[in-house]
Amino acid sequence: MNPLKKIKDWIAEGKAGWHLAGGRSSLKQGKYKEALKEFRKALKARPNNPEILHYNAITLLKLKRPEKALECYEKILKNNPKLAEAWNNKGLVLKELGRYDEALECYEKALKINPKYAGAWNNKALVLKELGRYDEALECYEKALQINPKLADAWYNKGSVLIYLKKYKKALKCFEKAIELNPKNYRAWGTKGITLHNLKIYEEALKCYDKVLQLNPQDDKAWNNKGLVFNELGRYDESLECYEKALQINPKLAEAWNNKGVVLSELGRYEEALECYEKALEIDPEDDKTWNNKGLVLEELGKYKDALECFQKALEINPEFADAWKWKGIILEDLKKPEESLKCYKKALKLNPPKQNTMVHARKNTTKTRQTQRSTKML
C-alpha cells in the first residue's frame, strides 16, 4: 500500500472514531441534533462504516426522519448484504413507516442469515401482531424465548398478544416473567394491571397501577386505568380523582373524558357527564362508545331526538354495535315508531343473542351496566 494513503487512512479512521464517540455521547444525553452533526462528520471520514451509519440511523429515527434512516440501512446492506443486524434494523424502520410486508421480508432475511437471532424473532412477531396474525406472532415469541429465555421484551410482547386473544391467565404469567427480569419495566406493571382487571382481581390491579405511578408519576394511562378499577369497586370519588389527574397530565386523553362522564352519569350528574362526552368527542369524533354514552345521557334528560342522533352516529361508525341498536330501538319506540323500533331490536338480538329467548328491556339496567368505559392499553 502507498505509505501516503496509509497515513491518510489512519488519520481518517482517527477522525471517524473521534466524531463517532462524540455522537454516541450526545445521543445518550438526548441531544439528537448535536449527535447527528457528529455522525455526519464521522461519515465524511468513513462514508461506508456500518457502525457509524447505524448510529446515524438511530438518531434520524429519534428526530422523526425514518425515510433518511432507511437510506442508512440500505447503504449498509449494499456493502454488507450478509449482516443480519442490518436487515433487522431495516425491518424496524419499515415497521415505523407502516410498511409491514417489507418489514417481514427483512426479518426473514435476518433469520435466514442467523436463525438464532432472538431479537429478530421478537421483532417479526411485533409486525405479525400489527397485521392481526396473532397465532403466528405467538410462534415467533416462543422461538425467541427458546433462544433467549431472559429476553424481557419477548415475554412482555407475548403477553400483549395473549391479551388480544383474551387468554388472560396465560398473559399474566408472561407479564410476571417480564417483571421478574426487569422490575422497573412500568409498561409490564401497567399491562399486568389491565390483565388483573380483566380477571376481576381488582385490588391486585390497583397495586400494579400504584407501582407504575411510583416508577412514572406522569403516566396518564395508568391514572386512567386506576380510575376504571375504582369505578368497578364503586369508589366513585377516588375514580373521579384519578381521571382528573390523568387529564391534568394529558387534557387530550379522550378515554379519561369518556370515563369521567361514565362516573358522573352513575352519580346522576348528567349535565356534567354530557360536557365530558362532548370533550371526548372533540378529541376523538370517531369513538362509537362515547357517542353511545352521550345518547344514554340525553335519553335520561328526555332529549330523545338528540339521543337518537347519537345512537345513529355510533352505528355509522360501528354497524355491529348491539347496544346502540337496542337503544335506537327504545328511542324509536318512545317516538311512536313501532315498526322501525322492531327492526332495531331484531338487529340487536342478532348481534348479541340473550341467554334466554326473551328481550330484557334495557331500561331496567343500571347506568353502570349501560355505559361503556374505555381503558388505555399500555401495550
- CATH fold for the domain made of 8-80: 1.25.40
Do 191 and 172 meet the contact criterion of CB atoms below 8 Å apart? no
pLDDT at 56: 79
Do 161 and 169 meet the contact criterion of CB atoms below 8 Å apart? no
The residues of the chain scoring below 70 in pLDDT are 1-15, 355-379
Domains in the chain: boundaries: 8-80, 303-356
Closest by CA position to 23, among listed 66, 59, 65, 67? 59
pLDDT at 7: 43
pLDDT at 270: 97
Closest by CA position to 294, among listed 270, 316, 317, 318? 270
- CATH fold for the domain made of 303-356: 1.25.40
The whole-angstrom separation of Cα 124 and Cα 140 is 7
C-alpha cell at 338: 313501532
pTM for the whole structure:
0.81
Residue 291 carries which side chain, given as an amino acid letter?
W
Cα angle vertex 372, ends 368, 377, to 5°?
125
